[in-house]
Each structure stands twice: as structure tokens, then as C-alpha cells.
Structure 1
């Protein structure tokens, strides 16, 4: 029998080892076999650019369950963006196109489109009313998949896809560019009247179609054609599985609607409880309203804090780390942040910067993101070309020192490091 004093001494030794090992952001020792010989660290096999596979493997080795110090630390968190990070193409787009083709968007109450988004301009509301108003009663689905509904489908698709009407009038105005994107938010807002279960059914149908369609397939939406295919990235699918097997807490944070990403995430083994998408408020019967859940200091229904740039930080802090109130909008101490993050767009900037050990960027030529990734001031950024149909090298340098950053009001400016120094223009070198 172990004496109580011996137990206390053993606990003290373990505590000292934990302090030496540090928090999740401290340098961890190299992976070793479990004392019982039953722990095998997952090994990545898919092809990656340069030394990215080695860097990712080191993350798994250092922070996985086979590391002998892991039992004394919190479970490491990894967060992935979804669209064009884990899959090729955008599942939100796929969902919108499916809804339009199948007539699943409802006529707004009273035919007043301003109720679908607080940021919709009068010009856009009028254009939508003129194109769609005579086609269905308020609350009834619009026949956007029929010839008579093609004009309505075209107007909705233009507002969603270009943030402008078919007549080129701005469709949205007055939003904070660092916490929301009205066109992204408009998709779940147009799902008003359906339940999450019904939306998941629509998504399952859209997913099956897009996975079955050949690469580069197009689909008819209204009177125009749109992208008609989606593919999972094999490398990311393997990485997610390896992280999970190694004991990481793996999450998705996406600016696509919550039930849509839930369905798609099943394809990489991530359950709905580990998905953070744009979330609608609901009626007593569970039907979606045109308003969105809030985060931080933003109340439900304010519709101004979605999973977008700083909004992604807020939602990650809230849902993964349990931070409540306005504090969720702030950068948290290192021990309450993800060790790994992956993204492809400026929409992912904040949660990528919050990652404490490694940040994977899929290069889609997005200015602010690539400025920070190529600057790599702390050595924690890695860049990989798109895994399917990678973009060609960007001819001109990224305008980091002048216009690479977009302010809250949309004003462009220089991209700044954490110490407020200006990042110089960067050359595109990973493609």
C-alpha cells in the first residue's frame, strides 16, 4: 500500500513536472512510446507542400496523447475553418443554389424584404420585391426553380453572390467589416420558417449532388449557371483524423449556416457538437427566424456578430473555452486558446492569430491573410497551395504596407504586426 505521505510527494513531483512542461503553448518534449507500449502516435501520409507535413507531424508528436506529459495538461484544441479549407468550394454556396433550384426560400412576411437583413439597402429590397413579390403569398415558398421564378432566383442570387442587385445597386450597407458579412448572414436568414432538422435534410440532398457531380460541373440556377461540385480535401481529412486519434479536441468554425456545416462535417468525423456556424434564433416550435444568435456583448437578434473575422474569435472563446460576455471578444490567455488553427481567407485572421503553436494557411491569394502568413514574424505560420486546382502565383506583391487591411468601416490600410509595425509588401511564393 502507498502511504498518504508518499502520495503527497508523488503529487508534488507530478506538479513540478507539469510546471516544467508548461501550458499548451510551451515547447513540449518529443513524442515517446507510452510506458506500456500501447500508444502509437498517428503518422501523416498524404502529400503536403515543402516541410508542412513534418511541421504538422511535430505538432501531433508534441501535443498528442503519446507524449508522457500529456496527462498533466488540458486537452489541446485544434480549430479548422470549413469552406475551401477542409473542402474545395463553398458549402454555403452549394446550399443557396440547392434552395433556389428546389424552391425552398419563403416569401417574407408582408412581402417586405428589409426584414430578411437589417443591412439590406432600400434599392435591394425594392429589386427583390419587384422580382419575387407576385410569385407567392407571405410565408409560402417562392417557385425559384421554375421558369416563371427564374427572375426572382436571379435577383436573390445576385444579392447573395455579388452584394449588389442585378442593376448593380449596392445590396447592403452599414455593417462592421470585422464582425459580420451581410451576404453570408443572409443565407441562414433566408432559411426562416424551416427547422434545423428540415435544413439538415436539404443539406444532405445538396451534399449528395455536389459530391456526385464531376469536377468543374456547373448547375442551372435561375437563368444562369453556378458551380455544381464540392470535394473533401484528402490531406485535411487525414489530418483531422490524426489529430482526433492523438487526443486533440477538434472543432470547425465556419461562416456557413450551423445545420449545413453539421451535415458536411460528418464526412470528416466531426460531430455537430464540435461545429460552430452561423446560428439562427428560433421560435417556440423550433422554426428559424430571420435573426441570428449573438456572442460577447452582442445580444441575440442584433445580427452583428457572426463567425467572421473577430466574430470567429468570439464564438470560439464562447463555445470551446466557455468565456462569457464581452470578454469573449478579446484575445484570451495562451492556456485558453487553440494550439492549432487552419484557414484560407481573411475571414479567418483572428482565430488563426490566436493559435499558439501552429497556423496552417491554404493559399487563395487573400491579402491580409497572406501578408501575415508570409511575414511569419513568430515562425508559427505554414502555407500550403490549394490541394485541388491550386491558384497560380499572384503576379504582383501583396499590398501589405498600404491597403492589405480592411477596417471596420471598410477603409483600407496597412497590415500591422502585434507591435504595431507595418508588414512590408510580400511576394507570393507558395503556389
Structure 2
């Protein structure tokens, strides 16, 4: 493994690999132990789905929907009005929007994706959803590519990948009036860790809240194939074209984005796709034989499956509240916190609000982070940066 890790993190991870890995296979979910990684800002620096959306907006690759409200079950009237006004109705439904020459349209789309609000500040999504199973603006990205084939989207992702890898580290790009990262890099340390795990007999999976065809384009370069890449899976129509519906998980059917690999949804997809559980059981923590040995993430969307790991919970510090509360509490002594390997964040000055608001309930309300025994975590300082 690469030596460029914080403190004794490399040694800690190597101990787990040595103890639980085997070239011949080991007891686990059937054959070999499992390692699961989030993708964006865990294996790469910067978000590859955003890089693909950026490329698509600069190359007129978004098809105009008949009604913007058809793209999401939760899109508000305000967002529908803003998108219609900004993107116009000159091109027929199903034809490419001229986003490359219409910065207003690009701005509205990207602002909604980024913040869940319109450029005027109005809420872009409203209604009821389980905040530990989905977030509308994440589900909205693959929904924006409705009408395209998976091959189309994969092609856009390959072009965006080439562009992002060629751009200098630290570079930015103007997208409408938004300044966005212009580059993406694989973390050498994570590529090395994946390589080490595979050599030690682990089944390595990617579990992302991005678009699956996009993530698959990127994951191949670290030796993870499509069968081991799990992300948002769009339902296809009879012609093989992407629709605004997404596949379900556990006992949740296909829907317009109600269940994606997000927080508890990542656990469900891991239990279902890796360990073969079906129905409601897929939403629940399983016995140690049916959980990843090593799990890695960088954000609250990863907190459930990273916490399920039995050997090491690897966290890249991006100052995300619930995840960092769990990591710094280190209840089982197996949490491994590392700064981002490229452009790490400075130390957070205030303690994480673990005792009050760092947890997000299914209905979206904030609350305290609790241990399995119900006790509330104290506020915790940021110490790895």
C-alpha cells in the first residue's frame, strides 16, 4: 500500500487486509470478504457525475422534456416556471436544448442540481420523501438524461472523463455563472488500496449515489467492473432509453427516485446486490458474515454502510456532520479518518453539532446523533485535517 496516508492509517488498514484477506477466498457472503467504496470524493477528487453534467450542458446533450415537472416527482411549480422561462420552448420536446449558448438555462439546471433551489432562491423540490433513502437533486441528474440510451450517457461520461483528467489540478470552469471544478483525479492511495484488496482476495465494490453508467466509465480504471459497480439505476423503456424512473431496492418498488443508493439506501443496495437479501430485510443491518469488512466514504450519504463495516470504517474528511461525528466518536475503535489526498480542507473551527443537529431523520428534521444504545454523542472537535 502507498505510504502517503495520515498518521498510522496505512498500518491500520494493512492489518485488516492481512487479517481478513486471503488469495484463496475466505468466509463471508459466500466466497470472499467484501470491501465497498463510495466513489465521488472517496476514490476520486471531485464529482464525476457533475463533471458529466457539466460536459453535457456545454455540448447541448440535455433533451427538452415536454414538461419540466415530469422530470421529478417533487419538482415545484416555481422550479418548473423558472426552467421553462430560462430554457424556452423554441425546440420541440425530445430535441436537444441549446444550453451551450444559453447560460440562463444552464444556470437554472445546475443551481437546482447543486442546491435544490432555483436561481431566484425558491425551493426546487417539495413534498414527502424519506431523507435517508433519497435526495431529489441527486435523483434528478439521471432523470435529466431521459430519452438517451445508456450508450449515449456512457459516451458523454467518457468525453467528460478525458477532459477532466487533462485539466490541471485546482482548475475551475465557468458553467453559466457558476464556477465549478474543472478537473477530476483518481486518488493514487485509493487506487493502491483497491489493488491491494483485490490481490488479497477481497471482492471490491463501488456504491455511489451518482448515475450508474457514468460511475462505470470511471470505475474500470481501478479494476472494478460493471458487475461490481452499484449506483442509481434508471428504468429503461422498451427502446432501451433512460426514463425518469429508477429501480427499487428491498421491498421498495421502482419509482421516480424514491429509493437510490443514499444513506440507508446504500445499505439496502449492498445487502440486495452483494449479499443477496430480498424484501424488507435488505434495509436492516445484517450479521457480520453479511457485511463489508472495509467500507469507505466521505459524506453523510455514506454513513450507514461505512458504519456497517466489520473491520475498518475509512472516512475522508470533508467536514460532513453525521459521518464525522460517528468517526470521531470511534465507538468500536475501527474508524480511520484521513484528510482528502488532494486539496484537503482546513480544520473545522467549531465542534461538530453531534448532540443537537448532525443527524437527519427520515422526515428531514435534524436531531442528535445517537449510539446504538441510545446515548447521545457529545459535540466533537475536528482533529484530522
TM-score range, shorter chain: over 0.9
Structure with the bigger RCO (C-alpha within 8 Å, sep 6+) is: 2
Q: What does residue 129 of structure 1 align with?
A: 84
What's the TM-score once normalised by structure 2's chain length?
Answer: 0.97
* Aligned counterpart in structure 1 of residue 52 of structure 2, from 95, 105, 124: 95
Q: Aligned pair in 2 of structure 1 residues 71, 407: CA closer, same or farther (>3 Å)? A: closer
What CA deviation, in whole Å up to 9, does each residue of 1:278-337 have, x standing for no partner? 010001111000111111121112421101000111111111011111111111121111
Structure showing greater Rg: 1
| Cα distance in structure 2, aligned partners of 1:232 and 1:394 | 25
Residues 241, 268 of structure 1: 8 Å contact kept: yes
Q: What does residue 169 of structure 1 align with?
A: 122
1:153 alignment partner, SS class: helix
| Cα distance in structure 2, aligned partners of 1:263 and 1:426 | 38
Residues 107, 133 of structure 1: 8 Å contact kept: no
Residues 318, 340 of structure 2: 8 Å contact kept: yes
1:145 alignment partner, SS class: helix
Q: What does residue 108 of structure 2 align with?
A: 155
Q: What does residue 56 of structure 1 align with?
A: 13
Q: What does residue 296 of structure 2 align with?
A: 342
The gaps in structure 1 that reach 5 residues or longer are: 1-43
Q: Aligned pair in 2 of structure 1 residues 66, 192: CA closer, same or farther (>3 Å)? A: closer
Q: What does residue 117 of structure 1 align with?
A: 72
| Cα distance in structure 1, aligned partners of 2:308 and 2:2 | 27
1:362 alignment partner, SS class: strand
Residues 72, 256 of structure 2: 8 Å contact kept: no
* Aligned counterpart in structure 1 of residue 95 of structure 2, from 140, 149, 157: 140
* Aligned counterpart in structure 1 of residue 140 of structure 2, from 173, 186, 196: 186
**Structure 1 residue 223: deviation in Å?**
4.1
Q: For residues 314-393 of structure 1, what are the structure 2 equivalents within 5 Å?
A: 314-393=268-347
| Cα distance in structure 2, aligned partners of 1:165 and 1:223 | 13
Q: What does residue 360 of structure 2 align with?
A: 406
Q: What does residue 299 of structure 1 align with?
A: 253
| Cα distance in structure 1, aligned partners of 2:2 and 2:360 | 38
Q: What does residue 197 of structure 1 align with?
A: 151
Answering whether residue 236 of structure 2 is matched by residue 282 of structure 1, we say yes
What CA deviation, in whole Å up to 9, does each residue of 1:146-201 have, x standing for no partner? 1xx22111111111111100110001112221100111110000010111111111
1:220 alignment partner, SS class: strand
Residues 101, 222 of structure 1: 8 Å contact kept: no
What CA deviation, in whole Å up to 9, does each residue of 1:330-364 have, x standing for no partner? 11121111111000000001101111111100001
Residues 359, 380 of structure 1: 8 Å contact kept: yes
